[in-house]
Structure 1
Amino acid sequence: MVKVVGVNFKPAGKIYYFDPGDLQVKVGDHVIVETARGTEFGTINMAEKEISKSEIVSPLKKIIRIADERDHKRHKTNLQKKERALRLCQEKINKHKLEMKLVDVEYTFDNSKIIFYFTADGRVDFRELVKDLAGVFKMRIELRQIGVRDEAKMRGGIGTCGRSLCCHSWLTEFEPVSIKMAKVQNLSLNPTKISGICGRLMCCLKYENDVYVELKKGMPDPGERIKTPDGMAVVVETNLLENKIKTRLILEPANKEKEQQEKLSTEFYNYKKEEIKRLGKGKKKKKAENDLEELDGELLEEIKDLLKD
């Protein structure tokens, strides 16, 4: 077991493990740490705890020190320089007529490098832009292309629920979201209703997915024939949260010889999952069709993500 604390470098940013050593740190403390990008100013986001060695990426680096007044002043100065850096970079982008959207800029704590984040539909040749920026800022320049989800995380905004975006306020890492999750919840597959402001499937589809998957077990599909206390019936629709199955009773079965269709009741009958019995006829075929449809949807979403990113 290894003793670690969690540190992040941006609000709702990814949490990285560091060795606290002999330092007594608590959640909310600002610390100076050594990273692959150099010396950084971070915030303790996770209290000290012990984890297995398999959960860390070796070598585990130690916290250099708890940030003092001088460190806070330097960090504040770096943040204040962002506005000028964004303005100058945008001027250079316009000058070179590059098809890219500047999103954010970040100074490393030790001012050894400045990182510009941008989005673009495809690859961008920014070699001349880097030369111009290096001449202006007199430090190492890095241009990093990000996806639309990362842009939403950096910029923030208000979601369709009326609250601050999860990715900007508390969600530290993105989790895979598929169109299958919307289908399980019987949501409209209208892209405008199940997509966030980033244009991708809403992250919140993932939150309740496990509950819906569990509730759906044993539930019949619309159009399926089932056995009820009142006789055979055809499923019209299901409500997973209320455990309600809406059906129409089969008054007369179909007769192929007389080319007669089955006769259904005009009234609807509601049952709970425990009150009905699934016949199983055609279930495997139906499941195979659903699995294929869901797989196609997931592949389509993945292809779209790859093309956009």
Structure 2
Amino acid sequence: MTTILGLRFRENGQIYYYCAPNQVILAGQHVLVKTDQGPAMAQVALLTENLPQDVEPTELKPIQRLAEQEDLVQHEENSLLAREAIRHCRRCISQRNLDMKLVDVEILLDRSKMIFYFTAPGRIDFRELVKDLVKAYRTRIELRQIGVRHETQMLGAIGNCGQMCCCARFIRKFQPVTIKMAKEQNLFLNPTKISGMCGRLLCCLAYEQSTYEEFQRRCPKIGKKYQTNQGPVKVLRSNIFRETISVFNEHGEERELTLEEWKAIAGETWTPYIPPQQQPQQRPSAPPRPRPEPESAPDQSDTATHGDDGELVAAGLPDDPSQPRPKRKRKRKPKPRRQDAPQAPHAEPGE
């Protein structure tokens, strides 16, 4: 018979499920398993026969064997080495003035690799830090940057409800949480109330979101007016716990109705209320004004335009309006003559 084991790799950490075919294992014992990083030791937290709903049967992997006394001693030495590595790494970070925060150190059972988890606001050039760590411990070094949610998941914390944070207990994959969820659940948008220990929105906001969405689909939209057999009403608010809505009728009264009562007065299909449009008063149209007749232009055929010196430039208008008007000729002023420089008198020879 195959026994399903719930294993913890950290104290108060989340549970991962493995199987132990044809082995008798008790809760509290230590076992060796093979992970993506390498061999690791875990403690049996629980025994069960059924997998949780969020775990697929294909993800279930077998354990290697029970941990022996040598494995337990090696695991204890690795724990002491991890604490010393945290202090040494923090000193190196301070000496090199790196903008990063060391969270935890994980050492594989055979010490083939050491993983340093850290947080940082941006990208960090830690190549020199890796050289310092390799020189100190003579093994493979991996620096892995994580987010603030994973930091709280690894360290653990007490939430606003007084219990251990959900991410440290059972959450394996983080779901996206938005401020729209808090609005739909009628919560006060106070950052200290809807934020967790990591500074992000509470993960528990997503637990009941499907219930709120299903209730909102059965309710009319808040703030809208609808036509009912009792006249137009406006929906003010809804109460998911009592499954009621509050409406405001045309007589100025506020009533609380259940969803069944709402369907009785509004029907299965809700009709939005459309107020009657007020038609504007039509003013009598004024009689059209007579258009003024264009004045006839004076006959300019006899008029003449003379230049400055009395020369005739244009006489009257051209017969064809499409022909351009002749340009006025301008009299050019004579340029002043250039005076030659006076020449020196030529002296006669012998004078």
> Which interval holds the TM-score relative to the shorter structure?
0.7 to 0.9
After TM superposition, give the deviation of residue 195 of structure 1 in Å: 1.9
After TM superposition, give the deviation of residue 269 of structure 1 in Å: 1.4
Task: Give, in whole Å, the separation in 2 of the partners of 1:26 and 1:89.
Answer: 38
Task: Give, in whole Å, the separation in 2 of the partners of 1:182 and 1:171.
Answer: 20
Q: Does 1:100 align with 2:100?
A: yes
Partner of 1:198 in structure 2?
198
- Quote the sequence identity (%): 42
Partner of 1:279 in structure 2?
270
Q: Map 1:88-127 onto structure 2 (within 5 A).
A: 88-127=88-127
- With over 3 angstroms needed to count, the CA separation of the structure-2 counterparts of 1:81 and 1:193, relative to structure 1, is same
* Structure 1 or 2: more helix by fraction: 1
Q: 2:4, 2:49 within 8 Å by CA — same for their partners in 1?
A: yes
Partner of 1:139 in structure 2?
139
User: Which residue identity is paired with 1:223?
Assistant: G
The more displaced of 85-94 and 68-77 is 68-77
Q: 1:143-195: CA deviations, max 9, x gaps?
A: 11001100011122222223221212333432332333223212234444322
Q: What TM-score, normalized by structure 2, do the two folds share?
A: 0.67
User: Which residue identity is paired with 2:110?
Assistant: D
User: Which residue identity is paired with 2:29?
Assistant: D
Task: Give, in whole Å, the separation in 2 of the partners of 1:152 and 1:139.
Answer: 28
**Relative contact order: is structure 1 or structure 2 higher (C-alpha 8 Å, sep ≥ 6)?**
1
Give the counterpart of 1:268 among 229, 254, 264: 254
Partner of 1:13 in structure 2?
14
- With over 3 angstroms needed to count, the CA separation of the structure-2 counterparts of 1:14 and 1:3, relative to structure 1, is closer
Q: 1:262-302: CA deviations, max 9, x gaps?
A: xxx1x4211111111262439xxxxxxxxxxxxxxxxxxxx
3-state SS in 2 of match to 1:151: helix
Partner of 2:58 in structure 1?
56
Instruction: Specify every segment of 5 or more residues in structure 1 that has no aligned partner in the other structure, as ranges.
Output: 252-264, 283-309
- With over 3 angstroms needed to count, the CA separation of the structure-2 counterparts of 1:55 and 1:21, relative to structure 1, is closer
Partner of 1:240 in structure 2?
240
3-state SS in 1 of match to 2:87: helix
Task: Give, in whole Å, the separation in 1 of the partners of 2:78 and 2:13.
Answer: 19
3-state SS in 1 of match to 2:39: strand
Which has more radius of gyration?
Answer: 2
3-state SS in 2 of match to 1:217: helix
Instruction: Specify every segment of 5 or more residues in structure 2 that has no aligned partner in the other structure, as ranges.
Output: 274-351
After TM superposition, give the deviation of residue 120 of structure 1 in Å: 0.7
Q: 1:8, 1:42 within 8 Å by CA — same for their partners in 2?
A: yes
User: Which residue identity is paired with 1:275?
Assistant: E
Q: 2:6, 2:15 within 8 Å by CA — same for their partners in 1?
A: no
CA-based RMSD of the aligned residues comes to 2.7
- With over 3 angstroms needed to count, the CA separation of the structure-2 counterparts of 1:229 and 1:179, relative to structure 1, is same
Task: Give, in whole Å, the separation in 2 of the partners of 1:28 and 1:173.
Answer: 26
Q: Does 1:40 align with 2:6?
A: no
Task: Give, in whole Å, the separation in 1 of the partners of 2:112 and 2:219.
Answer: 59
- With over 3 angstroms needed to count, the CA separation of the structure-2 counterparts of 1:229 and 1:164, relative to structure 1, is farther
Q: Count how many residue pairs are aligned between Structure 1 and Structure 2.
A: 262
Task: Give, in whole Å, the separation in 2 of the partners of 1:83 and 1:7.
Answer: 23
